[in-house]
A and B are shown apart, each in its own frame.
Chain A
Amino acid sequence: MKKLSFISTLTLLCLLLSVSSCKKDEAAADSGKGNLEIEIDHLAGTEGLVLGTKYVTAGGDTVSVSKFQYFVSNIVLIKSDNSEYVVPQDKSYFLVKESSVSSKLLTLTDIPSADYKGFRFTIGVDSARSRMEESERTGALDKGAAALDMYWSWNEGYIFFKLEGNSPQAVSMMDTADGVTLHVGGYGYNGSPNNLRTAEIISANGVATVRSNVTPEMHVIVNVLDVFDGPVKLDLAGHAMTMGGTYASVVADNYKDIFKLSHIHND
């Protein structure tokens, strides 16, 4: 009832002001729901990331990437009036993999019609979900399928972010001498480091107009070389084998800022 009376007041207000094309008006008139797509492109510099290709990092290391994947979860959409829509928990876990085209298109369904200027999300899997019964760990979180290589069974919890590859600068204790392994997890169990990071992407111009008949797309770009070039320029010589541990937090601080909005289109 409250919502209805709010909508009618708004409509009345618009009528009174004789505003002919008010976006808010349009959204309010469409009281239904729609979908929103988030498409993620992985780049190396300005070009598309090509697995196995050699790149040079900000720290001067040469690196090629063989695997690049991470969890996107707990998405909160931000409307142009700064109010927020929290995507329901059960529909808010995605595992993005460079090797899987379909995984790079995140489709959010049943989103209230509104104008959205951006979103906020967790890189990783929150502590509550990390401790849930196995039956609550489905879809992207199923370690028997999608999340097969994204779980630490020795240190209960998901691997939030995984970048693997090779670098001549890498000095590894393992037999793969030039192997680069950056695995980050850790949700802060019992005082341990919390490597969950939140990213926020806000559009400087243009909004995604979700309507029952309009499914906008937000295009997000991720420059994989930015992982190596954050608050700390990653030093592969010393840290090529990062599987959790203290350096994982350094990597997490770097990758929390790699997500950039390229553009939005509403057609």
Chain B
Amino acid sequence: MKCVCADSCHCLTSVVMKIHLILLATVMVLLTSCGKDPMAERAFEVAIPANFPEMKHEVKFTKEGFNLGKKLFYDPILSRDNTISCGSCHQQHVAFSHADHRFSHGIDNQLGKRNATSLQNLMWNQDFFWDGGVHDMGQIPFNPIQNPVEMDEDLAVLLQKLRANDEYRRMFKSAYKEDTINLAYFTDALSQFMGALISANSRYDKYVRGEGGQLSETELRGLTNFKAKCSSCHATDLFTDNSFRNNGISTSIESDKGHYEIVLLPKYKGTFKVPTLRNIEKTGPYMHTGSFNTLEEVLKHYAQGVKQTETLDKALIKEDGSLGIELSETEQAEIIAFLKTLTDEEFLNNKSFSE
């Protein structure tokens, strides 16, 4: 469903958001028309399957808060030299990951050390970022903003810039009914925008919810293989169990210690968060290292490329001690066919998320 008046009458400034959580949790972002009936024009409607696990972080939405969050997300004012926005490295058409970038270039063209993750279904995440260094939705933005190779902005300076901007003063006041710009409101608004980034309308979703989505014979065989061989980590319909694991991508657990840097427990050396596989067709390059450009390379890695290190995940060690997952070339191809059914065009093209 499309907002017919999106370009002509600025109806994007009046996104109405409501969350319904009854039996079937439904999240709706509603675009009001310029006319009198605010329900008339819906930007999108996302139904979350009943087997979606419990939400970890609840966000309260208002249309003004969402709009402010969206403006902040796409505004390079968040970076030290006003050149890098959140949207610079998190692009909607690739599920808010960074297209064709193994590592993203931040301020002064500096490179990060891990592949930019997608941003979707964040309210169901336990921890955030590859290393799980952030545990609360509201604390997500401060990480890239303060990172010297990403946006490198001082929070006090950022507040000054926002306070000096009439448009922001108006929008903060409208969202929070107070003529104040502070970090609490700033991060709440960004949480509203990022929390609304829900992908649950892929063909697979419509198949499992019985909404008319069809999977081919190959895709169904892929689903069966996936459940048998991948779903112990890529669990639930979020396709992650939120855990931290070493998937044998590196020959060293010292070069990037991952989750260990956060918790300092030796068993976590070289482990990283199991990523969701939603929209995986679009979110390459893959792995925290961005080492693989195609899903074929990824499946081949699990079949025959897993590298032994001290903390290698047990799921990648076969009974006979050899490494990897038993996957024939046919099974790999079927799994890839299934993974492509997780592409959610409605999410990738939803105008209410666009700059």
State whether A156 touches B154 (Cβ < 8 A): no
State whether B156 touches A148 (Cβ < 8 A): yes
B187 at the interface (CB under 8 A from A): yes
Residues 175-222 of B at the A interface (beta carbon under 8 Å)? 182-184, 187-188
Count B-side interface residues using an 8 Å CB cutoff.
27
State whether A156 touches B183 (Cβ < 8 A): no
A102 at the interface (CB under 8 A from B): no
Given that A134-B184, A192-B265 are contacting pairs, would A143 and B155 also be in contact in the complex, using a CB cutoff of 8 Å?
yes
State whether B264 touches A142 (Cβ < 8 A): no
A153 at the interface (CB under 8 A from B): yes
State whether A153 touches B263 (Cβ < 8 A): no
Interface hit among B16-24, B141-149, B338-346? B141-149
Residues of chain B within 8 A (CB-CB) of A193 are 264
Residues of chain B within 8 A (CB-CB) of A189 are 135, 262-263
**Docked CA distance A156–B261 (Å):** 12
Residues of chain B within 8 A (CB-CB) of A46 are none
Interface of chain B: mostly helix, strand, loop or mixed: helix
Nearest-neighbour CB distance to chain A for B354, whole angstroms, equals 27
State whether A192 touches B263 (Cβ < 8 A): yes
State whether B262 touches A155 (Cβ < 8 A): yes
B315 at the interface (CB under 8 A from A): no
Interface string of A135-148 (1 = CB under 8 A from B): 10100001111001
State whether B159 touches A156 (Cβ < 8 A): no
Residues 95-133 of A at the B interface (beta carbon under 8 Å)? 131, 133
Residue of A nearest to B262 (CB): A155
Most buried by A among B129, B138, B261: B138
Name B135's contact: one of A134, A143, A156, A245 (CB within 8 Å).
Answer: A156
Nearest-neighbour CB distance to chain B for A153, whole angstroms, equals 4
State whether B188 touches A134 (Cβ < 8 A): yes
Residues of chain B within 8 A (CB-CB) of A137 are 183-184
State whether B156 touches A131 (Cβ < 8 A): no
What are 18 A-B contacts with C-beta separation under 8 Å? A131-B136, A134-B139, A134-B187, A134-B188, A135-B184, A135-B188, A143-B155, A148-B156, A153-B142, A154-B143, A154-B146, A154-B147, A155-B262, A156-B136, A191-B263, A193-B264, A245-B264, A246-B264
